[in-house]
């Protein structure tokens, strides 16, 4: 159990960064080429002597999932966690005598380098990935320990790599709709940044000679672009899967009606954190995403009721960007 300090005493953690992320948390940025570094200091001020043994600072990167399931009249809470990185500092104190800390001000500077390919922060209803500092002033019984915490929001462009020689590349899908119509759907990169305006290009070729529709015009009756986020929560005794639709954008206008094929590029605004979580692969929490283009298409000789579905799904990875649009900079 922890207890507050008296009015004439102050203990706090200050993170020295000009950037602010979601919930006004201090923020840092990490890339595979330049590992993220969190710098700050602990301040302890006491106008009079304090009974205490020592002062410690702990840093933890923790992935955690928590959910509830009901089995008849029974309720089971599943709580799973994984520590991805940790570090501890022992902060030196000045003592009047053993167990009695001298009055005055103490400042302790610290720095921690984040592990390579560290994930971005996550804040959800049942899944979290936190970067947390906790400073604790330990006191002898019957006095209670005193603790303060400070979270840091980490924006990371480090993504889980499928292999050591992996290089991101443009993502393209080519197919033939109903064995009649060749098409291609492409995006510039399979790794997408939060807040990015991403171009999605759709190209249709003329109907094949064997289709029975050669020379007919292609008509797009309706189209929608969706981004879905899939969350897998893991516990050794249970697994929970969740799906969240982040946006659904109708695209029912500006489609040409031609017989010789056409190409159109659609620009999609990708959401920011915490609405969209970065792609994450930890044991308790996994976050993956799919971008979907769903269209109803027909020829000019068909009725709208005869239109059929054309569906393209692209599995992409989402990471933070270093642009200041991702986070706010203090003046």
Tens of pLDDT along 40-99? 999 998 888 888 889 999 999 999 999 999 999 999 999 999 999 999 999 998 888 888
116 plus 200 within the same structural domain: no
Q: Is 55 among the domain residues?
A: yes
90 and 179 part of one domain: no
Q: Decide if 2 is inside a domain.
A: no
Same domain? For 273 and 140 the reply is no
> Are 66 and 200 found together in one domain?
no
For residue 229, what are the domain limits?
171-319
Inside any domain, residue 331: no
Query: What is the signed CA dihedral for 327, 113, 289, 161, rounded to 10 degrees?
Result: 140
**Which tens digit of pLDDT belongs to each residue from 277-327?**
999 999 999 999 999 999 999 999 999 999 999 999 888 888 876 544 444
Which tens digits make up the pLDDT trace of 112-143?
A: 999 887 889 999 999 999 999 999 998 877 77
Reported confidence tier of residue 160, pLDDT bands at 50, 70, 90: low
Same domain, 118 and 41: yes
d(Cα 53, Cα 136) in Å, to the nearest integer? 11
Q: Are residues 45 and 122 in the same domain?
A: yes
The enclosing domain of 306 has a CATH number of 2.60.40.640
Is residue 325 within 8 Å of residue 243, measured between CB atoms? Answer: no
Same-domain status, 228 and 105:
no
Q: Which of 127, 158, 189 is the last residue of a domain?
A: 158
Q: Domains in the chain: how many in total? A: 2
For residue 248, give the nearest of 203, 193, 294, 189 by alpha carbon: 294
Distance, in Å, from the CA atom of 211 to the CA atom of 255, rounded to the nearest integer, reads 22
Residue 208 lies in a domain: yes
Alpha helices in the chain (DSSP H): none
Residue 223 resides in a domain: yes
Residues 105, 13, single domain; the answer is yes
Is 311 contained in some domain? yes
State whether 220 and 84 are in the same domain: no
Q: Indicate the residue among 112, 131, 158 that finishes a domain.
A: 158
The model scores a pTM over 0.75: yes
């Amino acid at each position: 159990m922890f207890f507050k300090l008296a009015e004439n005493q102050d203990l706090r953690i200050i993170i020295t960064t000009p950037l602010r992320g979601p919930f006004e948390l201090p923020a840092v940025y990490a890339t595979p080429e330049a590992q993220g570094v969190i710098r700050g200091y602990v301040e302890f001020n006491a106008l009079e002597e304090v009974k205490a043994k020592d002062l410690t600072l702990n840093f933890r990167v923790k992935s955690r999932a928590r959910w509830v399931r009901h089995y008849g009249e029974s309720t089971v809470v599943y709580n799973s966690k994984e520590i991805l990185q940790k570090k501890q500092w022992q902060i030196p104190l000045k003592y009047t005598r053993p167990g009695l800390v001298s009055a005055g001000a103490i400042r302790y500077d610290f720095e921690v380098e984040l592990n390579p390919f560290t994930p971005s922060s996550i804040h959800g209803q049942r899944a979290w990935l936190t970067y947390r500092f906790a400073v604790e002033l330990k006191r002898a019984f019957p006095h209670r320990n005193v603790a303060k915490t400070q979270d840091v929001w980490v924006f990371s462009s480090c993504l889980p790599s499928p292999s050591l020689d992996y290089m991101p590349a443009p993502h393209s899908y080519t197919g033939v709709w109903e064995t009649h119509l060749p098409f291609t759907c492409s995006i510039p990169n399979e790794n997408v940044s939060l807040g990015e305006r991403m171009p999605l290009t759709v190209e249709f070729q003329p109907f094949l000679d064997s289709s029975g529709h050669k020379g007919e015009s292609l008509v797009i009756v309706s189209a929608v672009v969706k981004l879905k986020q899939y969350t897998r929560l893991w516990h050794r005794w249970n697994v929970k899967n969740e799906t969240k639709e982040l946006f659904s954008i109708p695209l029912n206008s500006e489609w040409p009606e031609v017989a010789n094929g056409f190409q159109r590029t659609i620009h999609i605004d990708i959401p920011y954190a915490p609405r969209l979580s970065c792609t994450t692969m930890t044991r308790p929490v996994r976050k993956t995403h799919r971008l979907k283009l769903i269209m109803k298409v027909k020829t000019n000789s068909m009725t709208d009721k005869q239109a059929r579905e054309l569906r393209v799904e692209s599995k992409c990875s989402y990471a933070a960007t270093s642009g200041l649009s991702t986070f706010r900079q203090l003046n």
